[in-house]
Structure 1
């Protein structure tokens, strides 16, 4: 009896804490959902506290062709939403990978209504499997919401008949859908505070003009139509995947600070090379540039063809490259156009066949070119170099950088790891390679070489 009184006393002291502290404590419970609700049985003081605890509701449909399994999962979502309808703090509501059929439209409408009208969530994600046809069309009532801050839609058709009112939206992602320029402009005009826009496998837009001064980040992935982009206020641009010709002019992206080009090229290589040259001219003014594997391969082809890379003012350069020496001349030639460079990051990440470059040359020929070609250009501002997934094949490039970076302060080498059945180990010849690297001459008296495992 005495112990019970002590426990009750402790419970009373806990209940005397302010709501804000109790809600913070409850938000740290695992499962952040039903476990929180169960605390309501502790006392009348706790009975309604759970309603103010921020929770996230995430539903991911299992990959199945079973109609019964799909219907069961639909029903389970409805039960969950009924369970949570009294909550005041549903931060995030996400439903993904439903193989949509028209007979499910009312079910999905209920989810959208819950997210945009009842729960007033700040982060709403709704995506369907790519084979879904016809696509689910977002209901008109969903275009009026002043609390939504993040919205991601996949395989979801947009067709607002009136104006769009998403005044609090700061992040918008649209994927796997065909749009028109009119719809896109209507959506953008209804998002005056939008900061980040992502278009993933979107088609139908040939001219995209973004005039908002607040929209600073734009990502375009797998765009299969030609597109002319005018976005004078964006600061970060990422183009990735299998893209057709997304054309920009330097004066149309004058505020651009960071450009990420992770493009893949297949057919009509000569046309793609010409397109890449245009892109490199358009982003020559950016401070930060990141190039993916296929772009690096094309740089090497352009170097073989004698093309002079445009001079740039970039200060940060990140290159993602395959495990081959074929690219060394192209990399070095590109570096010669980056004399203001302060930081260089090279990430070796795969060993896929160099199909494009091998049509023009072979490794022996490229090695001879690298050794005999005049790449004796110093880098007067390069202070930091970092190579991730270090392999012995990159030693010639390391030697070149150490020799020509005259003010180098830090050269970081991150070892490549070989996966075994039990663990990941550094390459067995890593120590030997490290010793050889330390023997290379350095033009900067302040250069330190740092090895990381």
Structure 2
């Protein structure tokens, strides 16, 4: 079944999500060439939308497509972007893909969600392709208008990833960034937790910043 969105220039806010996680993980229907065309039409229809939110599965599908070389239609007018994303490396390609098509973006919000570890055959994105993308893919961003970044619960409990990788890329690209707020889901309930958070915050604060005015709060 196909549908089109027409004459919606007055729409201010839109939300995209895929439903049916079983189907998503059992077939490539959402990442087929036909689906790429379908998604492209939807994004073009919503290029004038100022506020866009993507659900976790939508971000994950975009990650697969980005690693396959598919690009989101560029030059959208969106000013505010909210991305719900699984907190693993596999979400980063999709995040970067949508950012590359958001030249006028002013506010970015990333809401992390715990990633369920399926067996290898059940994963839509396995670790190796995502790591290869982050090593060899085009990670350059042009964020000339991005002023505010909020990242919530996007850190795994071992080494601060994938949050640290994403923060590094954002800080070196956002030329007029004023404020970045990073909130970790881990609570300082023990000295070990406090030590971990201090270590992650220390690494975060060493990253180069394109904006001399950027304030980072952790």
What TM-score, normalized by structure 1, do the two folds share?
0.41
Rg larger for: 1
Question: Does residue 281 in structure 1 map to residue 18 in structure 2?
Answer: no
Verify: 1:446 aligned to 2:209, yes or no.
Answer: no
Q: 1 CA distance for matches of 2:194 and 2:136?
A: 30
The whole-number CA distance in structure 1 between the counterparts of 2:104 and 2:121 is: 30
SS at match of 1:259: strand
The answer as to 2:40 corresponding to 1:248 is no
Displacement after TM superposition at 1:272 (Å): 4.8
Is residue 415 from structure 1 mapped to residue 178 from structure 2 by the alignment? no
Per-residue deviation, 1:280: 1.8
Over the aligned positions, Cα root-mean-square deviation in angstroms equals 2.7
Q: Which has the higher strand share?
A: 1
2:104 to 312, 324, 340: 340
Shift of 1:282: 1.7
Contact 1:273–1:298 at 8 Å: present in 2 too? no
Task: State whether structure 2 residue 54 is matched by structure 1 residue 291.
Answer: yes
Distance 1:426 1:390, change over 3 A: farther
For the residues of structure 1 that align with 2:69 and 2:154, how far apart are their CA atoms?
29
Does the 8 A contact of 1:343 with 1:382 survive in 2?
yes
Q: Is there any run of 5+ residues in structure 2 with no aligned partner, and where?
A: none
User: For residues 303 and 448 of structure 1, what CA distance do their matches in structure 2 show?
Assistant: 30
1:426, distance to aligned residue in structure 2 (A): 6.2
Greater RCO structure (CA 8 Å; 6+ sep): 2
Please state how far the C-alpha of 1:382 moved relative to its aligned partner. Answer: 0.2
Q: Is structure 2 residue 133 aligned with structure 1 residue 369?
A: yes
Gaps of 5+ in 1: 1-225, 227-244
Alpha-carbon deviations, 1:174-219, whole Å to 9, x = none?
Answer: xxxxxxxxxxxxxxxxxxxxxxxxxxxxxxxxxxxxxxxxxxxxxx
Three-state SS of the structure 1 residue aligned to 2:202 is helix
Structure-1 residue corresponding to 2:114? 350
**Residues of 1 paired with 2:111 and 2:90: CA distance?**
15
1:59 alignment partner in structure 2: none
Q: Does 1:310 align with 2:65?
A: no
Alpha-carbon shift at residue 285 of structure 1 (Å): 1.6
CA contact (8 A) 1:410 1:449 kept: yes
| TM-score (normalised: structure 2) | 0.82
Which residue of structure 1 lines up, in the alignment, with residue 149 of structure 2?
385
Match of 1:325 in 2: 89
Q: Does 1:401 align with 2:163?
A: no
Q: 1:413: Cα distance to partner?
A: 0.8
Question: Which secondary structure state, in structure 2, belongs to the residue aligned with residue 326 of structure 1?
Answer: helix
In 2 relative to 1, CA 433–387 (structure 1 residues): closer, same or farther, beyond 3 Å? same
